[in-house]
Amino acid sequence: MEKIKVGIIGLGNRGKGMSMLVAEHENCAITAICDEYQDRCDDMKEKVAPLGHDPKIYLNYEELIASPDVEMVFVFSAWENHVPAAVASMRAKKPVAFEVGGAYTIDECIQLCEAHRETGTPAMMLENCCYGRVEQTLYAMNDDGFFGEIVQLCGGYNHDLREEVSMGLVNRHYRHRNYRNRNCENYPTHELGPLNVLLGIGHGNKFVSLSSFSSKSAGLDTYIRNHPDRDQTYADGKWAQGDIVTTILTTEFGQIVRLTLDTTLPRPYSRGLEIHGTKGWFSQENMSVYSDADHKESDHFKWKNFWGNYEKYEEKYMPKLWRDYLDAGIKKGHGGMDFLVIDSFVQAVRNGDPMPIDVYDSAIMMAVTPLSEQSIKNGGAPVSFPDFTAGIEQRKSADGKYKLF
């Protein structure tokens, strides 16, 4: 079977790891790589050589996309480059997969959808958490009616990034300039992707409004002052990004989604998923399930009796995708989900199947960022949520339910 000729844009921390998964993929031949930094290109070329790849180096992503030696594009670059690179790839008729992150403007989300509508070129956001083992099991529980009707969902990007952000200039990392200059829900997709699957957002259900609230910014200043080995230039009280951003979205079917961004205070990692349904409840913070089926009303005071009981539900509900994957041996990268998301894109392109996470799914997730920025500036005032899928009926199945997975 002929391999697909792949071009890769963005060879920073994430690009390095993801490129190696692409390099190991049996259907991919890396023919071109690109970064703004020559040294990152040189390092990558050296790393993929033992796997039989001999990519040409580009410092300009548009030239990589235009190359006749590139048939398909992966974008692992910083947030600012996702939409320009994805749109350019679609316009060049080259299927493209791009990393996660919020948009900067609603217009960018529209551009993404328009480029796809006008060219028909497949494009997918690589939202790996949609493929997580827990998330996939929760989809199966939901499909089985375990939670009843979902009324509220919560999620978060709760990840202590103080070192990454504060050392961003030293390490040439994109988060630094974003945290200096913007205050918003800057990274909604890891939790929102799975929540949107559970609610069918963009597939019959839709968001109606969004309100966002930001705390002050105090975490980074304190951290830098307490760590003399960090870049001291920026303990100056001038970080724009608030430490905690809480965002509330409402849906057409009367549900609420609550997102939390918590990246500049001390805390353990969590995507904080919570499901509140008419028949059951789940909390990722302590991996617990509570349901009318398995618990009595008197149990609700006895939290600790069922803390950590999720595993027994996983035994029952874990879907085939993950059972097969565990049997075959999980590959590296965030507990295995990085390979799953890359592979699902490659297979969809090869088979001409719809993109598992298409431009509309992506635009909905990415739009949260500019909308939250606008709402925060107006003291949390609700803003209406644009309907990127208006008039695209084929996204609904006959029973009104659409299954992404």
Ligand X SMILES: NC(=O)c1ccc[n+]([C@@H]2O[C@H](COP(=O)([O-])OP(=O)(O)OC[C@H]3O[C@@H](n4cnc5c(N)ncnc54)[C@H](O)[C@@H]3O)[C@@H](O)[C@H]2O)c1
Binding site for ligand X (CB under 6 A): 9-15, 34-37, 40, 61, 76-79, 81, 99-101, 128, 173-174, 334
Q: CA-CA distance, 216 to 202, in Å (whole number)?
A: 33
> Minimum distance from CB of 255 to ligand X (Å)?
26
> Minimum distance from CB of 19 to ligand X (Å)?
10
State which residue, 44 or 289, has the beta carbon closest to ligand X: 44
State which residue, 116 or 176, has the beta carbon closest to ligand X: 176
Q: CA-CA distance, 197 to 203, in Å (whole number)?
A: 9
State which residue, 13 or 286, has the beta carbon closest to ligand X: 13
> Minimum distance from CB of 243 to ligand X (Å)?
19
State which residue, 158 or 389, has the beta carbon closest to ligand X: 158
User: Cβ–Cβ contacts within 10 Å for residue 149, how many?
Assistant: 11
Q: Dihedral, CA atoms, 1, 355, 334, 12, nearest 10 degrees?
A: 80
> Minimum distance from CB of 143 to ligand X (Å)?
25
Q: CA-CA distance, 4 to 342, in Å (whole number)?
A: 13
Pairing of strands 28-34, 72-75: unpaired
Residues 272 and 244: beta-carbon distance below 8 Å: no
Name the residue with tokens 């997918």.
Answer: 124
State which residue, 34 or 198, has the beta carbon closest to ligand X: 34
> Minimum distance from CB of 105 to ligand X (Å)?
17
Look at residues 186, 182, 183, 201 and name the one whose alpha carbon lies nearest to residue 257: 201
DSSP string, 353-376: PPPSS-HHHHHHHHHHHHHHHHHH
> Minimum distance from CB of 320 to ligand X (Å)?
24
> Minimum distance from CB of 164 to ligand X (Å)?
8
Residues 130 and 404: beta-carbon distance below 8 Å: yes
State which residue, 193 or 277, has the beta carbon closest to ligand X: 193
Q: CA-CA distance, 24 to 76, in Å (whole number)?
A: 17
DSSP string, 221-275: HHHHHH-TTS-GGG-SS---S-SEEEEEEEETTS-EEEEEEE-SSS---B---EE
- Edge-to-edge strands of the sheet including 72-75? 56-58, 28-34, 4-9, 72-75, 96-98, 123-125
Residue nearest to ligand X (CB): 12
State which residue, 81 or 89, has the beta carbon closest to ligand X: 81
State which residue, 132 or 280, has the beta carbon closest to ligand X: 132
> Minimum distance from CB of 43 to ligand X (Å)?
10
Cα Rg, the chain, nearest whole Å: 21
> Minimum distance from CB of 306 to ligand X (Å)?
30
State which residue, 103 or 141, has the beta carbon closest to ligand X: 103
Q: CA-CA distance, 199 to 190, in Å (whole number)?
A: 15
